Amino acid sequence: MQSRLVGKVAFVTGGAKGIGAAVVRRLASEGAAVAFTYQSSAASAKELTASIEENGGRALALQVDVADASALTTAVDQAAQVLEKIDILVNCAGVLFMGPVDNFALDDFDKTFAVNVRAAFVGVKAVLPHMGHGGRIINIGSCNAERMPFPGGSVYAMSKSALQGLVQGFARDLGPRGITVNNVQPGPVNTDMNPETGDFAEALHGLMAIQRHAAPDEIAGMVAYLASPEAGFVTGASLTIDGGFNA
């Protein structure tokens, strides 16, 4: 693995499992010190931290509900104090609630927005005092921001579409400070949230050019690219990695 991120510090939300854990491992393998949040997956967080440290890396796990703006801000400040700065922010924490609009619970709408959109906004605001020129901000969105081909996904799609607007606006705000801001938009990924052996897998594959789920490490590879020096001219973009789901 290349050592493109030696000397860099990353902060990843939702980093204990799934795509988030793959991102944490990949950034650490490229030389970054990584702080990450988790909400309930304490055992996974502990195992991930130990694995990184056993391989000579540095990791810091912080238990945080990212929907709590004060708690998330405190966690960012704590990570910056321990690791001395933050160069890379990856907003990966997310929730998925499905259902038709006529019986979709307002509480589920509010939680979707709080975790998938508001927390990303809060994370960016919290990290900026600790981020200098050359910083990288990366959101994990979804191909559903651009295509929702089945019923019941309106609120999730809305939340991921909102990230596109945030990224375009943030890119304008932060470009003069040398900070890039981008979305990574996965299609189906083999995680606990959407397993490759799940009830909907066959239907999803039927919509795709490459008829399989992605591995979390494939998504982490695109995140690592955006975090690297090679991506210094990429900003305001929503980069889709979906096996042709949106083709």
Domain range list for the chain:
9-241
CATH of domain 9-241: 3.40.50.720
Catalytic residues: 156
Angle at which helix 18-29 crosses helix 42-54, to 10 degrees, equals: 20
Distance (Å, whole) CA 123 – CA 133 = 18
pTM for the complete prediction? 0.97
Contact between 67 and 14 (Cβ < 8 Å) = no
Contact between 144 and 160 (Cβ < 8 Å) = yes
Contact between 90 and 13 (Cβ < 8 Å) = yes
Give, for all 247 residues of the chain, the pLDDT tens digit.
Answer: 579 999 999 999 999 999 999 999 999 999 999 999 999 999 999 999 999 999 999 999 999 999 999 999 999 999 999 999 999 999 999 999 999 999 999 999 999 999 999 999 999 999 999 999 999 999 999 999 999 999 999 999 999 999 999 999 999 999 999 999 999 999 999 998 889 988 889 999 999 999 999 999 999 999 999 999 999 999 999 999 999 999 9
User: What pLDDT score was predicted for residue 199?
Assistant: 84
Contact between 122 and 69 (Cβ < 8 Å) = yes
Residues in a beta bridge with 36: 12, 61
Contact between 50 and 60 (Cβ < 8 Å) = no
